Amino acid sequence: MAKKTTKTTLQPAYNFNDPWEELLENKAFVKAFLSDVLEDYIIKQRWYGGKASKLKYIELSEYFRIQQHGEIYYGLILEVNFVEAFYQHYFLPIAFVSDESFAQEDRILPISIKDQKGFIIDAINLEAFRKLVFERIHTAVPNDQTKVQYHKSLLFQDAYKSSRFMGLEQSNTSIVYNENYVLKFFRRIYANKNPDYEMSRFLSEKKNFKNTPAYLGSINLVDSDKENITIGLMQEMVPNEGDAWDYMLKELHKVFSNLEAKKINTQQLPDTELFERLDIRDVPPQIIDWVGLNLFLKIQTLAKRTAEMHIALGSEFEETAFTPTHFNGDYTVWLKNRLLYQFQNRLNTVENNLHKLDGLALTLAQEFLDKKNSIRKRFVNFDWTKLKGERIRVHGDYHLGQILVKDDDFYILDFEGEPESTIRDRKVKQPPLKDVAGLFRSFHYAIYATIFNHNDEYKHSQDDLFEAGELLYKYFIGVFLKTYITKIQDANLNIGYSQERIFLLKYSLLEKAVYELGYELNSRPLWAVIPLKGITNIINH
């Protein structure tokens, strides 16, 4: 198969007489590199998050050396400016290679340095670079005060053996070392420590939380404004059988196939109240016969691990970034402003996309528009003075895809937070039930995704399947809540009294479903029925 060639390989080679070690001090090179070459390269990268906007120009915000024993690479912090008057920052490490056969599909530009022809490439393609980064973390000294700060935990003792790309990721690039460790390079970066780094290090080093990949090391850059920017995070690699989303889809396909195999009449299945806390003994035998005991036991395990994560995050009294706090007026203003802005945006999206909907989705969308004032009122009616529970640092983007399945257990990862939020918003302390609501929305999605993905295989009508799915959802969250709340209360983490918990769950579920609605209407309108059903469940409860 012919190699793909990028536009840049067709350009004449640039020729500079500066040595590689001084090349970034040459203004002519920087200008040519940023304007003639990089724009074309960056928009093709999977990790580039500005594809929906129009790129205006790129500036070199910062550069630094990543070096050891005379081997030198550059880390670039690129400021990408958009026509729509906002900007994003990206991390790009670069290397110069002269081997004609190397990295043919990932060259940034052909160049001649001191009459040696070669190419500038993304340095992550180069094993020598990956090894150097590993060794810089491995030999990190405590309290590194240099511009590029490497850190390692006491758990990280191994010598370098091998490295490879982990696979296709969207926003970051991960390297697997020695088949035991993963170094995540953050591509989109922020003028602050990344929440994934902060949370991983805190849970692993300070709280010894076992159900997340252990923190092993990191790379942070102190920029010219003295801000601490996370470039890379090293963690243990957890051997696993895939994520909980795929696991749940497989299990739910068995559950819905059972309706036919066991000749179950969906109309005769016993109902339960939304948010009713259920022990497995409280689940009727007909439901256990239909779903199987194993899936409910798994949900109990997941509830335990979620509670243990929140207990660890809520048990800190020294490090202010992690100490629990109460609800107050400032939080309420922040929350309402954010949600009312998002709600108005989603209202406009629904109005503009009604023509794409039909059937149940159209009916629910009309109900959403008819009840817009009452939904808005629910967001406004957040009275912090009535809330007695605590706010803590939370996962922030908690769903089945962020959880690994290993044996009969679950491991929680990816603490970066909600992609649409600013870095500061991701670090705001929230009620732990916000994470729980995120997971419940994920359960809801998995149920509907299973029905959509296998619609032709099930004999029951789609309406019957939706009804059975809603019933199943109530049992899932009932079993989860019983285990979760019991564990949380045993550890004295204050998540409020019973009515407060239900208020916060409903509020967070409504917030999450409204957030999801924008994505579905813009990318797959057929699935808009899922968040719309989630919204109607809450506003009619």
Query: What DSSP line would sit under 282-319, residue for residue?
Result: GS-HHHHHHH-HHHHHHHHHHHHHHHHHHHHHT--SS-
Residues 200, 233: contact at Cβ < 8 Å? yes
Res 108: pLDDT: 85
Average pLDDT value over all residues in the chain: 91
Exposure class string for 122-141: b at 16+ Cβ within 10 A, else e: bbbbbeebbbbbbebbbebe
Low-confidence residues of the chain: pLDDT under 50: 1-12
Per-residue pLDDT, 13:
60
Q: In what order do the strands lie in the sheet with 148-152?
A: 148-152, 215-222, 228-236, 181-186, 172-177, 163-165
Q: Looking at residue 9, what is its pLDDT?
A: 43
Q: CA 29 → CA 25, 63, 98, 104, 396, distances in Å?
A: 8, 14, 18, 22, 42
What pLDDT is stored for residue 168 in this prediction?
66
Q: Per-residue pLDDT tens for 376-387? A: 999 999 999 999
pLDDT score for 104: 66
For the whole model, what pTM was predicted?
0.92
Which segments of 38-180 are extended strands (E)? Answer: 55-68, 71-82, 87-97, 107-113, 116-122, 148-152, 163-165, 172-177
pLDDT of residue 169: 66
Q: Is 457 helix (H, G, I), strand (E, B) or coil?
A: coil
Q: Given this model, what pLDDT does residue 200 score?
A: 96
Q: Given this model, what pLDDT does residue 2 score?
A: 40
Q: What is the pLDDT of residues 15-71, one digit of tens each?
A: 888 888 888 998 888 888 887 778 888 888 888 888 778 889 999 999 999 998 889
Q: Of 49, 41, 46, whose CA–CA distance to 174 is shortest?
A: 46
The helix/strand/coil state of 248 is helix
